[in-house]
Amino acid sequence: MSRIKEFNLPDLGEGLTEGEILSWLVKVGDTIELNQPIVEVETAKAAVEIPAKWAGRVQAIFHSEGTTVEVGTPIIAIDTDPGAGPVDAPSTAAPGGDLPTPSAASLAAVEVAPAEGMVEPGLIGGPAPGGRTAVLVGYGPRTTAAKRRPRKGAVPEQAQPAAAPAPAAPVPTAPVPTAPAAGTNGHAAPTGGLVLAKPPVRKLAKDLGVDLRTLTGSGPQGSITREDVQRAASGAAPAELLAGAAPAVAAARFGADREQRIPVKGVRKLTAENMSRSAFTAPHVTEFLTVDVTRAMKALDRLRTRREWRDVRVSPLLLVAKAVLLAVRRHPMVNSTWAGDEIVVKEYVNLGIAAATERGLIVPNIKDAGRLSLRELADALTDLVQTAKAGRTSPADMSGGTLTITNVGVFGVDTGTPILPPGESAILAFGAVREMPWVHKGKVRPRQVTTLGLSFDHRIIDGELGSKFLRDVGDFLADPEAALLAWT
């Protein structure tokens, strides 16, 4: 047993596949004790400290802070007997520990993690279309290493690399334990869509070492048949399956070119996906309306002085929310979803409020906001904002939105052309309320003015409907009392 041991990132929850290194609590050369916290890792479920599995001295740290690491990848090497003199092969670990991959030399003395087994796409535990991991119930996708032994009496040509067919020769413990993106047999980088094959065929493919993703099915609906698999096992091999056997060269990190590379993940990744999806599927139209909201601001001031409203946070956003909810009642089509061959119009309004948080943009929504009284709406808004600021917004809070307000005014800008949250048909941008010269009763007066920007899905909402809706929101904000009297 080697004295240098590598610690692989374990599955810290149930069925997690990766974790982000938040911070290293030790550095190369440190002497550490058993169970001493060495690193803080954040997974989809929690940020946790990992205690050292062995006492000894830190020999190498393989991933820098901020890196997302796959479960099963070595993250640290520990010399468990530092008193016994230098290790045969010198470590190339840099002080401060920022090594993308251990060099082959440094690994001479290192125990090697078993290569991971192949998991087929579409299967439970295998990557599903879209990169998700398909899990029905239980403890999630298989993340531990699975080494496959060769079958007795395997087809002879498997042994000859020249004629080597598809079944990637059972991988002996590979010399490169890290490099998650490297090997042919990691479950990294699922490509292609769902592979259709009956379970016995999948089993056969697995036994023969055939990657179903590389086959074209000849069965019904393009499904892969037993014959397809057998043909692949005895016939030609896709070359790329064997290509990855060479040790991966670690990607160089940029430094001298004065560019920073920020990995796209978490909220940023989700935001990007949603925005692209929406922008390129729903034809957006944006209209603007500038409104004198002086009366509304005065109404808010009066509201604040009322005893029962004393402890309530009253903001202009509250009035905008109320305006939107009332206008939806008059134009229900605005609160709808394009569902391909039908339009789903909703009676309930789950009112989304875009919020900038430390983690990025999130859009929690107030469920069934149309049923709330103004007071309840105020409380719900306050609660929503505080929850978002504290980073405690739950996925349930963020799903099911039907109509959204984005309060860009808080950043001091006048308006914008917001992009629809996927599945919604309208989003209102609420700009800054400014004191501006405005013609009021025939004279130019300083008045409080704001600009509203409404983007809507032109597949559902015509210019007329969009304009009427926006106009109603504006009318309410121009004179809330009159609108209330007229509409309700």
Partner 1 sequence: MAKGDPGVTTRGRRATPRTRKRASGDPELVQLLTPEGERIESVTGPDGIEYRADFTDEEYRGLYRDLVLVRKLDAEATALQRQGELGIWASLLGQEAAQVGSGRALRTQDMAFPTYREHGVLYCRGIDPIMPLGLFRGVDQGGWDPNEFKFNMYTIVIGAQTLHATGYAMGIAMDGKTGTDEGEAVIAYFGDGATSQGDVNEAFVWAGVFNAPMVFFCQNNQYAISEPLERQTRIPLYQRAAGFGFPGIRVDGNDVLATYAVTRTALDNARYGQGPSLIEAYTYRMGAHTTSDDPTRYRIASEVEAWQAKDPIARMKAFLTNQQLADADFFAEVDEQARRESVHLRERVLAMPNPEPDTLFDHVYPNGSPLLDQQREQFSRYLESFEGSAH
Catalytic residues: 458
Q: Which residues contact 298 (CB under 8 A, 6 or more apart)?
A: none
Applying CB under 8 A, does 398 fall inside the site for partner 1?
no
| CA angle at 268 for the pair 265 and 270, rounded to the nearest 5° | 85
Q: Which residues contact 96 (CB under 8 A, 6 or more apart)?
A: 27, 28
Applying CB under 8 A, does 273 fall inside the site for partner 1?
no
Among 22, 48, 135, 410, binds partner 1 (CB under 8 A): 48
- We find the least distance from the C-beta atom of residue 150 to partner 1, in angstroms, to be 5
Applying CB under 8 A, does 46 fall inside the site for partner 1?
yes
| Binding window for partner 1 (CB under 8 A); candidates: 41-49, 108-116, 224-232, 294-302 | 41-49
Among 23, 31, 35, 92, binds partner 1 (CB under 8 A): 35
Applying CB under 8 A, does 218 fall inside the site for partner 1?
no
Which residues inside 148-187 make contact with partner 1, applying CB under 8 A? Answer: 149-152, 154
Backbone angles phi, psi at 403, to 5 degrees: -160, 140
Asked if residues 136 and 99 have their Cβ atoms less than 8 Å apart, the reply is no
Applying CB under 8 A, does 198 fall inside the site for partner 1?
no
CA distance 34 to 23: 19
Of 9 and 210, which CB lies nearer to partner 1 in the complex structure? 9
Applying CB under 8 A, does 8 fall inside the site for partner 1?
yes
Of 21 and 433, which CB lies nearer to partner 1 in the complex structure? 21
Query: Total binding residues for partner 1 by CB under 8 A?
Result: 25
Query: What is the β-pairing status of strands 68-70 and 18-24?
Result: antiparallel
Asked if residues 17 and 141 have their Cβ atoms less than 8 Å apart, the reply is yes
Among 21, 26, 32, 50, binds partner 1 (CB under 8 A): 50
CA distance 36 to 78: 13
Asked if residues 437 and 327 have their Cβ atoms less than 8 Å apart, the reply is no
Applying CB under 8 A, does 47 fall inside the site for partner 1?
yes
- We find the least distance from the C-beta atom of residue 352 to partner 1, in angstroms, to be 21
Of 14 and 435, which CB lies nearer to partner 1 in the complex structure? 14
| Binding window for partner 1 (CB under 8 A); candidates: 4-12, 293-301, 302-310, 338-346 | 4-12
Backbone angles phi, psi at 427, to 5 degrees: -140, 135
Angle between helices 463-478 and 480-487 (to 10 degrees): 120
Of 13 and 422, which CB lies nearer to partner 1 in the complex structure? 13
CA distance 22 to 39: 8
Binding footprint of partner 1 on the chain (CB under 8 A): 7-14, 34-35, 45-51, 53, 139, 149-152, 154, 392
